[in-house]
Amino acid sequence: MCCFSRTPLGLFARLFWRRPIDVKGTRIFARHLGREQALVYDLDLSTAHDVAMILPLPVAPGSGEAGVEFVDLSGYPRFFDDLGRWGYEEIQALPKSRGLGLSLPAPRLKVHEVGAFEASYVPGLSDMHRLDPRFRVPDDAWAGLPAVRDFGFAVFKLRKGRNQRIHPMALRFRTRDAGRLFFPTVHVHDGQAHPTARFHHTLYFQGAGGPEVSDRPAGAYVQPERCAGLVDADGRVSRLRLHGELPNADTWVSLGTGG
C-alpha cells in the first residue's frame, strides 16, 4: 500500500482529501533474504507540498522497532533503469493484482537519514503517536484498511516538486511469510482506499517464477556491488506489470522455481 499525508504547514498530521499529488511509473523490487524480505521502491512524483509516503509491511509479529532496516541506495539512482535492461522480447501482460491507566510517555520513534530521505519505522498502529510530528497521521485514517491492522509501517518524507524521479527507497524487513513476496500496491492518495485504482506499476522479483523472466542473470545488467546485497547477481529476474484499472489491493507472489 502507498499512502500519502501532509498538512498545509508541512506537518504530517492528516491525509489529503483532495487530489494533491500525481504519482506514476511506480517500480518495486522484492527478494527474500532468509527470514527477511528486501523491498526497493521508486516512482515519478509531482506534489505542491512536502508529503509523507507510508508503506505498510507484513513484519513478523514481535519484531519491535528492529523489524525494519533502511538501506541507502542513493549511490545507485539508476537501479531500476539497469534492472529493466535485461534484453528479452517485450510481452504484453496485464495481470491482476492479488492480495492489501497512568504510564510514562513512549519515546519518539527514530528518524533515519537515508540518502535524500528522512524515514521512520512504526512497529504497529498503536505506535503511530510516537512518530515525529512531521510524519503523523490520524488513527482513523486506517479504519478502511483492516488488512494492515497488525502490520508495521515504513514512513518516508518526500519533498515538494514537479516530475521528480525519486532515488530508490530501500529496506529489509523481518517477514511473517516465508513462502511469498509482498508488494505494497494498494493506492491511498486521496484519503480513501477505493475498490479499484489506476495502476502503472512494474514489479521485479527474484526467487519466484513470473509471466516474464529474464534470459540472463541479474549480474549481466545490474551492478550488484552497488545494491547493498539486495540483489542476487547469479539469479534471474521476473517481471509482473500491473497496468490499467485493477482491484485496489496489495500484491503477493508465491515463491517457487525461477530467479
Residues 6+ apart with CB under 8 A from 92: none
pLDDT 10s digits, 40-63: 999 877 777 777 788 999 999 999
DSSP-based three-state secondary structure for 44: strand
Pairing of strands 187-188, 2-5: parallel
* pLDDT value of position 149: 80
pLDDT 10s digits, 69-109: 999 999 999 999 999 886 444 443 434 434 333 344 566 67
* pLDDT value of position 89: 43
Q: What is the CA radius of gyration of the chain?
A: 18
Low-confidence ranges of the chain (pLDDT < 50): 1, 5, 7-19, 87-104, 258-259
Look up the pTM and report it.
0.79
Q: Are residues 30 and 172 in contact, defined by beta-carbon separation less than 8 angstroms?
A: no
**Residue 170 to residue 38: CA distance in whole angstroms:** 8
- Of 221, 187, 212, nearest to 201 by C-alpha is 187
The CA angle 220-221-225, to the nearest 5 degrees, is: 85
Q: 28: buried, middle or exposed (CB in 10 Å: 19+, 13-18, 0-12)?
A: buried
**Residue 28 to residue 196: CA distance in whole angstroms:** 20
**Residue 70 to residue 65: CA distance in whole angstroms:** 12
Task: Map grid coordinates 513484519 to a residue.
Answer: 59
* pLDDT value of position 125: 83
* pLDDT value of position 232: 96
